[in-house]
Amino acid sequence: MIGIVGYGSYLPRYRIKVDLIAKQWGADPEAIKRGLLLYEKTVPGQDEDTITISVEAARYALQRARIDPQKIGAVYIGSESHPYAVKPSATVLIDALGIGPHVHAASYEFACKAGTEAMYSAYSLVKAGEMEYALGIGADTSQGAPGDALEYSASAGGSAFIMGKENVIAEILFTNSYTSDTPDFWRREHEFYPRHAGRFTGEPAYFKHILNAGKTLLEKSGLSPKDFQFAVFHMPNGKFPLEVGKKLGFTKEQMEAGWISPWMGNTYSGSSPTGLSAILDVAKPGDNIFMVSFGSGAGSDGFIFKVTNEIDNVRDLAPKLRDMLDNDKIYLDYGQYAKFRQKIILNE
């Protein structure tokens, strides 16, 4: 049996309400909340970035996996906000957690699906018998340009998954990916904010890729939506995941546990992985979980997990996602948020 042996998530404590962002740019907050089903989002502290978020999430994953960090043979971090353009985020992480130095490490980048790429590679290496354990992480401190629609959703957080063969808590039964050249969203080298081509963002990008990846994944498995207790999809806002899930045949009840974007925002590479983490916090042995990510550019990775008896032994060994999402929040006003996100021009 191969699958997840430990998982962990980390969300910063800071939040900004969508109302404040709307007010700043003269937009109608109610229309945005109704249209996108977004209410607030996480904001990283001034001393937090993709590396620090990855370290905290992976520390919790190690707590749950209860393994010697030295046995981890690969560490992949997927993000569109790696602090360095050249120097993999994992080089810092392994030193912080006592992994390696005999370890394969790399940074992944694929807009919002870099996290599931990291998970897929980690899983594949264990499956190939190359190593006992591998760590895949999706984390981001995403930025939307001020006044841009993305500013309402772009948030911060991440999740880490240790793949292995022993004491598996969620077996990976099937995977499927779907990729094409789609110009919906990109960022050129040296540009601070990403660009998006509005007309490509919905149907030809998000929906097309998730539906194609998802349908083939169901065919491969021979299962139908009613065979699943949980489903989670990439969450660019609150609305899209519910719509795409419905199109695939899933109900709101199946999506409820992993549907965290209305209060978390879009954590990009950490989006559907963090939804999965929220599901594992409440899943029971024997439950089936359906997951499809999406990354602009564009592509989707799909996974089918089966939860094992082992989940009951590890669930309480690290903080749960809903507790981090609902408690100990520190709300920022727009000015503090602009300062935190370095949107204010300062003298050197």
Active-site annotation holder among 56, 80, 117, 151? 80
Q: Which of 25, 98, 195, 323 binds another protein (CB under 8 A)?
A: 98
- Residue 29, φ and ψ in degrees, nearest 5: -60, -40
Check if the beta carbon of residue 114 is closer than 8 Å to that of residue 78.
Answer: yes
Minimum CB separation from another protein for residue 137, in Å? Answer: 13
Q: At closest approach, how far in Å is the CB of 121 from another protein?
A: 24
The smaller minimum CB distance to another protein, of residues 251 and 336, is found at 336
Scanning 157-269, the segments in alpha helix (DSSP H) are: 198-201, 208-221, 239-248, 252-255, 261-264
Q: Does 348 bind another protein (CB under 8 A)?
A: yes
Interaction between residue 45 and another protein (CB under 8 A): yes
Residue 179 CB, shortest distance to another protein, in Å, is 32
**Which of 55, 75, 103, 264 is in the footprint of another protein by CB under 8 A?**
55
Q: In this structure, are residues 113 and 295 in contact, taking their beta carbons and an 8 Å threshold? A: yes
Instruction: Using CB under 8 A, pick the residue from 83, 147, 286, 335 that binds another protein.
Output: 83
End-to-end CA, the chain: 55
Give the binding range for another protein (CB under 8 A) out of 20-28, 48-56, 218-226, 294-302. 48-56
Answer for which of 40, 49, 281, 310 binds another protein (CB under 8 A) is 49
80 is an active site residue: yes
What is the Cα–Cα distance from 78 to 76, expressed in whole angstroms? 7
Structure tokens at 64: 């749950």
What minimum distance in Å lies between the beta carbon of 115 and another protein?
19
Cβ neighbours of 31 (radius 10 Å): 10
209 a catalytic residue: no
If one asks whether residue 46 binds another protein (CB under 8 A), the answer comes out as yes
> 3-class SS at 150?
helix
Active site residue 234: yes
Site membership for another protein, residue 215 (CB under 8 A): no
Residue 100: name the closest of 108, 91, 112 by CA: 91
13 lines the binding site for another protein (CB under 8 A) = yes
Strands (E), 165-208: 170-179, 185-186, 195-196
Residue 47 contacts another protein per CB under 8 A: yes
Which segments within the chain are labelled E, that is strand?
Answer: 3-10, 14-17, 40-43, 72-78, 104-108, 133-141, 156-164, 170-179, 185-186, 195-196, 230-233, 288-292, 299-307, 330-331
From the list 40, 48, 112, 151, the catalytic residue is 112
Residue ranges binding another protein (CB under 8 A) = 12-14, 45-49, 51-52, 55-56, 59, 83-84, 92, 95-98, 330, 339, 346, 348
**Which residue numbers are catalytic?**
80, 112, 234
